[in-house]
Structure 1
Amino acid sequence: TLLLLLLLFLLPFSSFSFSYSCYFSSHSSSSSSSPPLLPSAPPHLLLLLLFLLLLISSFSSFSSSHSSKLLVLGGGAAGCSMAAKFTSSLGKGQVTVVEPTDTHYYQPMFTLIGGGMKTLSDSRRPMSQVLPSGAEWVKDKIVSFDPDNNTVRTQDGKQIEYEYMIVASGIQMYYDRVKGLLEALEDPDSGVSTNYSPHYVEKTLKNLQRFQQGNVLYTFPNTPIKCGGAPMKAVLIGDEYLRKHGKRDVAKLTYCTGMGVLFPSPFYAEKIQTILLGRGVELHKNKTLVEVDRAGNEAVFKTGDTTERMRYDTMHVTPPMGPVPELATSPLVDQTGYVTVDKTTLQHVKYGNVFAMGDCSNLPTSKTAAAVAAQCKVVYDNLSAVMAHKVLPQSYNGYTSCPLVTGYSKCMLAEFDYTLKPLETFPLDQSKERSVMFQLKKQIMPLLYWHLMLRGYWNGPGVFRNMFHLGGIIKQQNRE
């Protein structure tokens, strides 16, 4: 563009210089005076500028398209892990990661931040530090998919062609599906917060600190969410905070979920319900938050066709969540907007060179970082087999895990698979609240995440579970 402007600027002067020189050449014999100084350009300048202009135009056309052996969509836990694994095996420049944000968050830490046990800075790293140096990072977002032609298009207009693709774009919050919610979250004095966003997670602790007496509400939407146990962690941490600060006797805690169950696994759901009721928390199922009336400090819920208003003094909201809209309208998804994959191989049911994992997939298991870790080895081995034209060797059993923090020192480590039955790692009853599990959640898991998982070295605790298998048998016998 600059060269074009320069060309247009110099063109008149160059033409005038040529005619002006001819004029003085024809009149040189009749005049001895020197011509006035005028801007001029060498005769070859126009040709040079035209050449450079064509070169820039050609380069621009080249840079608007890109090809990659492996395209990874998303720079979250799944995207970073898979980019690291395949960059190591395929080599530098063979993996392209499309991720629009500059910062990577360890989202499982948000619950602890909301309780004041960690800081927001503990949970974040620059994206440039967590993506492998051998991968190419396209800082952009995908706006359209054409899997029939192995291409995607970015918001900036770049077309990326791929041989293989891993979709790991996660899910996003849809605040606008609850009337008045975003305005309440933006208002520092509304008393409304959520642990699900780095923009609002610090409000949770501030609201507990400001609370004097009244109603404390906690909500769960009627959509799939990240870590289905996190809303109940917020309840139990809030309960213990109020007890520690002498406010629990003047607080009524209420938990409203839009689902018909408290937790996917019935075994752990029973344990969690016992804890919540034991803490004096009022429970409501099939009750969905649809509006936040900030002016009246009221939350509006729907149960079937019935609408109910509940007053709040402090409220923690889990917003509705779902796939990013660009993905939800692509040929890759089912009717709910999630990528359709085989639940054991994680390969797309129609496009064999496409795999999906993590929150954006339609896998019938809880959306957690632990699930992603277990999926990493399955996707890596199976996609590598596809590249080598071999039989897919790995099968995913639906393993997922949720460290259910129940306060400032205890945690119940829930682990289960597609059967929803416990698939626990350690040779002890993990359905009990334990301080050792709390330290595992608070201190050890972040280290595993930053230093092993994002570098492609952590595939979940399956190896350790096999080591402790005898303990698992003994544990089951003790339960029976």
Structure 2
Amino acid sequence: MPTRAAPATTCDVLIVGGGAAGIATAASLLKRQPGLDIWIVEPSERHYYQPGWTMVGRGLFRPERTVRMTEDLIPPGAEWIRASVVAFDPDHDRVQCADGGWIGYRMLVAAPGLKLDWGAIPGLMETLGRNGVTSNYSFESAPYTWELVQALHRGRALFTQPPMPIKCAGGPQKAMYLSADHWVREGLIDDIQIEFHTAGPVLFGVKAYVPALMAYIEKYGVDLRLGSRLTAVDGPGRTATFAVGGPDGGVVEERREFDMLHVCPPQTAPGFVRDSPLAAASGWIEVDDSSLRHARFENVFALGDACSAPNAKTAAAVRKQAPVVAENLLSVMRGRPMRAVYDGYGSCPLTVERGKIVLAEFGYGGKLLPSFPKWLVDGTRPSRLAWHLKSEILPEIYWQGMLKGHEWLAAPHHLPATPRAVEGLRP
């Protein structure tokens, strides 16, 4: 059972955050050094498999399939501190919890996740989950997405995407494609006007995947609106307001009536991260992109959605990051050079229809990093095999692999063990 830390208690490795990043890192550390004194600070009793919420929004997963109890996932040998961290004090190797107590550490792994800023869009929180307004970014409202999709026989469906960075850059599109696929199968697509409003200038940030996605935009008759950012929602009035870039570089306000509105909320680093000494100017925890060690505090590492590395914020990225952090942290503890390197890998299985996925896998700079040979899965084209990977295999890899320290297809890359090669990663 979880315990609460008394003031001034100290551990060897303190992990802030018991989501995918925190638990996976703890498991990877204990795999390499059993008996290591690890504490995980996490307030939530429930742990969510968030990639599954897209499937819930299409009626393909039951919501219960995406949630388990946190205490059942804590790796044997780690201790769960059920508390909320409210402040980092890296100058004194400690964090403060909401009850005022302090926890000290020898090494810190910061994995607190990000903040879904629902309140940044006036009117959204008041109407989310009713009045035709939904989001697959919420466990509570994802089932409502499927209700709306089934109930809509004619009218206008709006799907929105805020400015980057966000969790799973393809998430807003997935909701749209799967909804449209249902309307095609039911013979309703000609009576439903679909609009995709994205604040960005392109449909997807890695060019290699855009042609396949554009084919589905055309297939479903989607009105693609680039540079269109949701700014307000009137649920009872079924009206959404957007800030739209004008031809002269200015911004104009546009209102769109809707019968269904799927919202991806703006996303930021948590407030206690933004206000901490660990934050970069961007608000995210400032790390070296390769080693994932903090840029200024040598005994601090960060990974997952809250770190500043310019990778896609996905569970697949965490699967690759956790072993890198585990190896490099232990190297620092032992006074050795760090050799494990994170290449920016992230994956976004874009569910373009029921039964087919565009498996986007890429790293820093948009470099394609496929896990499979092209003859087996060509990630730039819709694939049935990739669908089975997403719907059947990846959930088990998450629950039974990643969170338990099994690093299938996730072993870190290493720099050669020469003084010249490791100079940039030397503790």
TM norm structure 1: 0.81
Specify the alignment match of 1:405 in structure 2.
351
Q: Structure 1 stretches of 5 or more lacking a match?
A: 1-60, 464-480
Greater relative contact order structure (CA < 8 Å, 6+ sep): 2
Specify the alignment match of 1:224 in structure 2.
165
Please give the alpha-carbon distance, in whole angstroms, between the structure 1 residues aligned to 2:196 and 2:275.
34
1:68 CA displacement: 0.7
Specify the alignment match of 2:324 in structure 1.
378
Specify the alignment match of 1:28 in structure 2.
none
In the alignment, is residue 422 of structure 1 matched against residue 368 of structure 2? yes
In the alignment, is residue 310 of structure 1 matched against residue 226 of structure 2? no
Please give the alpha-carbon distance, in whole angstroms, between the structure 1 residues aligned to 2:122 and 2:164.
16
Please give the alpha-carbon distance, in whole angstroms, between the structure 1 residues aligned to 2:409 and 2:329.
19
Equivalent residue for 1:254, pick from 181, 189, 195: 195
Please give the alpha-carbon distance, in whole angstroms, between the structure 1 residues aligned to 2:200 and 2:168.
14
1:133 CA displacement: 2.9
Structure 1 residues 417 and 333: CA distance shift in structure 2, 3 A: same
Q: Do the aligned partners of 1:403 and 1:413 also contact (CA within 8 Å) in 2?
A: yes
In the alignment, is residue 435 of structure 1 matched against residue 384 of structure 2? yes
**Which string of whole-angstrom CA distances, capped at 9 and with x for unpartnered residues, describes residues 427-446 of structure 1?**
22221111111001100001
Specify the alignment match of 1:74 in structure 2.
17
Overall identity of the aligned pairs, in %: 35
Please give the alpha-carbon distance, in whole angstroms, between the structure 2 residues aligned to 1:97 and 1:68.
10
Q: Give the AA of the match of 1:276.
A: I
Structure 1 residues 390 and 355: CA distance shift in structure 2, 3 A: same
In the alignment, is residue 301 of structure 1 matched against residue 250 of structure 2? no
Q: Do the aligned partners of 1:87 and 1:94 also contact (CA within 8 Å) in 2?
A: no
Specify the alignment match of 2:68 in structure 1.
125
Specify the alignment match of 1:236 in structure 2.
177
Please give the alpha-carbon distance, in whole angstroms, between the structure 1 residues aligned to 2:158 and 2:257.
9
Q: Which has the larger radius of gyration?
A: 1
* Higher normalized strand content (fraction of residues): 2
Q: Give the AA of the match of 1:326.
A: F
Q: Give the AA of the match of 2:19.
A: G
Q: Do the aligned partners of 2:122 and 2:232 also contact (CA within 8 Å) in 1?
A: yes
Q: Give the AA of the match of 2:329.
A: L
Give the aligned CA root-mean-square deviation in angstroms. Answer: 1.6
Specify the alignment match of 1:155 in structure 2.
98
**Which string of whole-angstrom CA distances, capped at 9 and with x for unpartnered residues, describes residues 50-102 of structure 1?**
xxxxxxxxxxx992332110000111111011111223444447100000000
Please give the alpha-carbon distance, in whole angstroms, between the structure 2 residues aligned to 1:420 and 1:243.
32
Q: Do the aligned partners of 2:189 and 2:220 also contact (CA within 8 Å) in 1?
A: no
Specify the alignment match of 1:109 in structure 2.
52
Please give the alpha-carbon distance, in whole angstroms, between the structure 2 residues aligned to 1:461 and 1:247.
42
1:224 CA displacement: 1.2
Specify the alignment match of 2:279 in structure 1.
333
**Which string of whole-angstrom CA distances, capped at 9 and with x for unpartnered residues, describes residues 135-188 of structure 1?**
1111111111110000100001220000000111111211110010011104x3
Structure 1 residues 271 and 221: CA distance shift in structure 2, 3 A: same
**What SS is found at the alignment partner of 2:396?**
helix
**What SS is found at the alignment partner of 1:163?**
strand
Structure 1 residues 93 and 385: CA distance shift in structure 2, 3 A: closer
**What SS is found at the alignment partner of 1:341?**
coil
1:461 CA displacement: 5.0
Please give the alpha-carbon distance, in whole angstroms, between the structure 2 residues aligned to 1:72 and 1:177.
29
Q: Do the aligned partners of 1:223 and 1:322 also contact (CA within 8 Å) in 2?
A: no
In the alignment, is residue 351 of structure 1 matched against residue 300 of structure 2? no
1:327 CA displacement: 1.0
Specify the alignment match of 1:215 in structure 2.
156
Specify the alignment match of 2:112 in structure 1.
169
Please give the alpha-carbon distance, in whole angstroms, between the structure 1 residues aligned to 2:367 and 2:334.
35
* Higher normalized helix content (fraction of residues): 1
Q: Give the AA of the match of 1:238.
A: S
**What SS is found at the alignment partner of 2:175?**
helix
**Which string of whole-angstrom CA distances, capped at 9 and with x for unpartnered residues, describes residues 389-413 of structure 1?**
0111111111111111111111111
Please give the alpha-carbon distance, in whole angstroms, between the structure 2 residues aligned to 1:142 and 1:62.
12
Please give the alpha-carbon distance, in whole angstroms, between the structure 2 residues aligned to 1:441 and 1:237.
14
Q: Do the aligned partners of 2:209 and 2:358 also contact (CA within 8 Å) in 1?
A: no
**Which string of whole-angstrom CA distances, capped at 9 and with x for unpartnered residues, describes residues 103-139 of structure 1?**
1111111100100000110011100011113111111
Specify the alignment match of 1:139 in structure 2.
82
Specify the alignment match of 2:423 in structure 1.
none
Q: Give the AA of the match of 1:242.
A: W
Specify the alignment match of 1:35 in structure 2.
none
1:366 CA displacement: 0.6
**What SS is found at the alignment partner of 2:47?**
strand
Q: Structure 2 stretches of 5 or more lacking a match?
A: 246-250, 413-427
Q: Do the aligned partners of 1:373 and 1:453 also contact (CA within 8 Å) in 2?
A: yes
Specify the alignment match of 1:181 in structure 2.
124
Q: Give the AA of the match of 1:433.
A: P
**What SS is found at the alignment partner of 2:86?**
strand
Specify the alignment match of 1:41 in structure 2.
none
Q: Do the aligned partners of 1:219 and 1:316 also contact (CA within 8 Å) in 2?
A: yes
Equivalent residue for 1:455, pick from 372, 386, 404: 404
Structure 1 residues 427 and 286: CA distance shift in structure 2, 3 A: same
